[in-house]
Structures are given as C-alpha cells and as structure tokens.
Structure 1
Amino acid sequence: MGKDRSSDRLPADGGPVRHTPVLLHEAVEALRPRDGGRYLDGTFGAGGYTRALLAVADTKVLALDRDPTAIAAGADLVSQARGRLTLVEARFSHLEDVARAQGFAPLDGAVFDIGVSSMQFDRIERGFSFRGDGPLDMRMEGRGVSAADIVNEADEETLADILYFYGEERASRRIARAIVHDRRLAPFVSTKPLAEMIARVAPGRPNDIHPATKSFQALRIAVNDELGELLDGLAAAERVLAEGGRLVVVTFHSLEDRIVKQFLSERCGRGETGSRRLPGEPAPPPMSFICEGRQPIAPSRKETAENPRARSAKLRHATRTAAPSFPLGDKLTRLARLPARDKGKV
C-alpha cells in the first residue's frame, strides 16, 4: 500500500469534515494505493476518500464531482495537496475523457461512493429530503430537469414506472394517480406537500420508514440519471484502468449493488466454466477483471453504530486484467434504465 506517510499526511484535513465516508478503511485496503500511482475519486463529496489516498502513499489523485458546491468546498484541499490533487467538476460517466485530458490515463485505481452525500441530503434547500419543506429540486448539478418538473409534467404511466423501477414502491400506481389528480389543483413546488400527500394515499405501518422515502429516492435517481451514470462510469473505468488497476465501488441500495454485481460478474467470468460449454463451443473471451475474496464487504457493527447511514452499504472490488473491455449488454442496460416505451415522456 506504499509507505506510511503519517508524518506528512494532510490534516484530516482542510477544515472540519461534514461527511463521514463509509467503508473508508476497506476501500483503501482494496485500492492498495502505491507511491507514484494515479488514482481517481469519482465522487469527491467532502473529499474523504481523496484525503485517504493522498495520506497513505505518495499518490496523485484526480477527483470528480458533478456538484459545483463540492468543487468549491474542495479548493482548500487542492491547495494543501501541492499539486497532487486535481479536482474537476464533471460526472464520473465522463471520467475517461477527463482522465485523458488531465494526463491521468491509464489509472492505477478508481473508487466510487454512489448516491447522495450527507452534505446534499442535509441541506433542505437542495430538496433531497422531506424532513423540512424545501424546494422540490434534487438536482446534483443545479441545472436541468428538476423533481418538480417530473412530478408536474410527466404522465401518469411514466410517474408510476419511475416510482416502481427506481424506488421499488409497490404503491407506485396509486401514488402516481394521486399526483396527477392533485397537481391539477396546484403544482407541487416543495417537498413537504408531496411527502404528506404520499403518506395520505399510501400510509405505512408503524415503525416502517416514512411512506414517501421510496418515492423520493426514485425521483432523485430519475432527476440525476444515477443508475445510468453508474453503469456508464463502470464501463469508463474499465476502459481507462491500467492492467493491475483496482476498481472499488461502494453502494447504498439494492438497485445500485445489482448493477455493480452484474457488471463485475460478467467481467470476472463468475459462473463461466468449461464443463458448461458444449463440445466444440469456443471458449469465452478473456475476462477484463479478476474478482477476489468474499464479496460484498459490509460495514462493521462499530461503523454502523457510529454512522447509521452506513448500515446498507456494500463494497465490491476487482482488479483489471490486460484483456480488452467489454461492450455493455442489454441485461445490464435494462437494470439501469426505464423500459424503452417510457423514453421521451418526461
């Protein structure tokens, strides 16, 4: 993992950290950063993974974030890193172009911490949470289609599919029907009225999560194309990682983990054995990744006790081989996007 840099590591670092990175130790262990290595933090956030990569070895780090507020907040860390950190406002699906433009290709490792960060979630004005009454926004970049646009403009069928596929909401059609009915009277512009309406038409059982939780997750994923971004980011990492480069992904719900699991399963050839091929059938192409050890890795009891948001996290990792990258197949694409019949409706 490179030499111990405890004597010159960046202080923890650049001011107070508002976001606690999940599975940080496990992610760094899986990345195995080395002196002189070039690493990508695809989801900079408050810089937790980046700080760790800069601290444990004499690395250079390219960090991306699509949220301009995260980029602005990271300016002090860039200065402290003294040329070892390059921070770019970009989606991680664009990582290949950014890495090549910044002279970071090929990469020795890439880490992704998928989903919304604590800083985004805790700021009521961003509209990710319904704990207060903020604008119905949810845009990580602050531009493009907002949650209010989808709620007030999408047709009932599209709304139901968004809630069902991205939120796994069983009452999706009932909620979509109520949204379409109520928005005729007044558009939804803030989080609290929408959350209250969902609780009214699809009430939960005592001690369950709030009835609006899954719907808000679904809208956030749709607004930011989070599953499509994840899939495209994985494919981009496959193309730009050097042989022996390490890919580490931390997810927080089953939809994300399913995509990462399927992607790595295809790339690592799990379940592909010679005995399953018919006589004369050609061997499968060389695998582009090697998956080692028992996966996924879950947080310890200590971590979940200290940080309840870690309880659903899962970490998967793999090592790049010299084999060519694979095209994305239909099975993976279906996991990341709504059915084709819904395209163009929003």
Structure 2
Amino acid sequence: MAITFGTIGTNWITESWIISAHKHGQWKLHAVYSRAQDQAKEFGAKYGCSTAYSSLDSFFADEDMQAVYIASPNSLHYEQAKQALKAKKHVLLEKPATSTSEELDDLFRIAKEEGVFLIEAYRHIQEANYKLLQKLVNDQRKLGEIYGASFTYASYSSRYNNVLAGEVPNIFNLDFSGGSLVDIGVYPVTFAIALFGAPKTQTYVPYIARTGVDGGGVIILHYENFGVQINHSKCYTSSAPCEIYGEKGTLTVNGTTDVSSIKFLNSKTKGSEELAGPFKTVAKPNVNMEEELVEFARIVNEKDIKAAGDLEEVSRVVVKVTSDLRRQNGILYPADK
C-alpha cells in the first residue's frame, strides 16, 4: 500500500517532491495545506488531489494521512513538525530541519515518543552516485589516506536582486531563519559530514548582506589530520568542481548536488577514470528526489530504526555545525535568543 502524505508549502520544491513521489507508486498525495484555501485546492488539483486545508489543526487531524512533507519557510519548520509528530504523522522535513540543535533534539524526542519517523529531506546524500562516492572514500585501496577536500556550491539567487533593491525576502531574512549557509551552504556541509563524519571544530568567514544574514562565505571543517574547505554563496555563481585529495589520487566530482561525474585522477600514472554510474535527469525547475523517496518509503514500511538513526545523526551534526558557524559571526535567529 502506498503511504498517504500531505504537503505544507506550494512552491517548486514541493512540486518536485510530489512528481518524484508518484513515480514509484510508494507514495500518494492525500492532502494539501496552504494558508489560502483556493491556493491549496488549485495546487492539489494539478496532481489529482481534492483534499485541501487552510487550517493546520484540521490538516493534522486528517486520519487518512500517514505522513507530512514540510517545505515552509525555515523558521516555521519546528512548530509545524512538532504539531505533525504529536498527531502521529511521519515527518519528512525539508532542510534545514530546524534553526537550532535544541529544536531538533526536541523533535526527535517527540518522534520517538509517538512512534513515528522524522527524516530530514537531504536528497543529495541519497543519490546513487553519492553512495558510490562514500564507498570510494572509505576504500583505502582506491584513494588511500585522505589529505583534504574542497567543496563548492554557489548559485546567484534572483531574490538577491530584491536585497540589492532594499527589500528583505524571506530567504535573506533573520526572522525567517534565512541566509546562504542554511539554504546553499548546508548542501556541501552535509556532503562532507556524511562522507567524513563530525568535524573536530569549524570556522567561517562570511559575507554579511545588508539584511543581516550571510550572503555566502568560506568554511573550514577541521578533522583529525585534514581539512575540508567549503565555498558557498547566493550572491554569485561558481562552476568550480569538488575535489577529494588522497594519497593515491584525487576524486573530482561535478558538484555537491546532482552528482553525474566522479573522476579518479591517479597520482602515479596521471591517468583519469570516470567512475560515476547513470544519473537521473529531471526537467527544470524540478529536481531529482526519487532516490530519497524510495529510501524513505523503505524506512517507514520496514520500520528501519537503524537507517533512520544514521540519518538522524547526520542531521544532528549538521545543525550543530551550522548553528556554531552562525553564532561565531553574530548571525542570530529569533530561536537563538
């Protein structure tokens, strides 16, 4: 039986989620929430869903809905997820899950008490080629000892035009828990943490936009014998590849999302080898979420507490690291105070 789910958020990322969810028959859209009833109806109708709500209380009270996908503004995640979990719904929470570690700890506590799953929707670490990369990094025979890594994700945001015009869009607003680190930078940070584990310490040199949030910056994650440099921004675009440096060679990856190329450059022979497998392409503006949705359905249906726990640990480390990086630079949200 397909898992019935509802959505909070009617933007393009939610459309990507629904389209990907319906491809394998393991999920079925049951209900849509929006503050405007007409908007909820119109959005749901595109996907054959006639159940629409403009009241969160009524939405979460729907007994035929088993799970909720939340893609609302960052600052709303905690309260909405808490309400969903207490209604005994599985929660698939778009990144960043919460503004602080304390909020995330509370959500995982509630999920366990209610016997449901809370999973942060990091699509990129579920991609087949990312999982191949994990195996390569852990294979001493291929790469050898890790010497360091450099990851980049920088994409100019159309909303930055609004900032330059003197406006304060949600994603550049402290009150909405915005900024490049939690919107863009969180991808390479998670990319690194799921590969190498929790860093010993971390430092951040951000560019502070006129709205008070970070528009981008340079992060260093400090590990036992190496460092990971992360360059991210919503104020400019970069096409720089990502690299992992090892004793026996270098792995060059096309990016920290939508991994379609993994090349191994052999230090001794100077030869190059493409290792990536097939990559799922999706018509823009949508993105590939199939692999994460297949895995999340498996976790829910098989009640795979171990797999959910591994993802939980990644989420806990990521929010701890990003919260520390923000606070180092005085980038404080209402939830921090």
Q: TM-score, normalised by structure 1?
A: 0.31
Name the one with the larger strand percent.
Answer: 2
- Structure label with greater radius of gyration: 1
Q: TM-score, normalised by structure 2?
A: 0.32
